[in-house]
Amino acid sequence: MRNDQSGDEREYAVVKRSVVVGGHKTSVSLEDAFWTSLKDIAIRRGMTLSTQIASIDTNRKTSNLSSAIRLYVLEHFRTRAASTMLIGERQMPSTRFVPPGPE
């Protein structure tokens, strides 16, 4: 990896971070975008990052914790996007085509 990376390249670089899960130290390798999003989700839910990671660890369906975290963050934002679309759709007038009736 080059030392003269731009900000965009650093955002996509995978960084290894040490975390404590269930009292045991382990490491996860995540891009900054996933790490920042994970911290934001934990803050919004009123929990510590360690508690959030422990919850993901307990409920994961994959053997790799880093992958489980990425999938968790992805699902969080997918759910938010879907609920935002549903809320927006309820507020918008119908766009269904209604053929004109006989005059």
Which of 17, 35, 33, 37 shows the shortest CA–CA distance to 25? 17
Residues 6+ apart with CB under 8 A from 14: 29, 30, 31
- Contact between 70 and 34 under an 8 Å Cβ cutoff? The reply is yes
Tokens matching residue 74:
């992805």
The 10s digit of each residue's pLDDT in 22-43 is 889 999 999 999 999 999 999 9
pLDDT band for 1, please (50, 70, 90 cuts).
Answer: very low
Give the count of beta carbons closer than 10 Å to the beta carbon of residue 91.
6
What is the model's pTM? Answer: 0.72
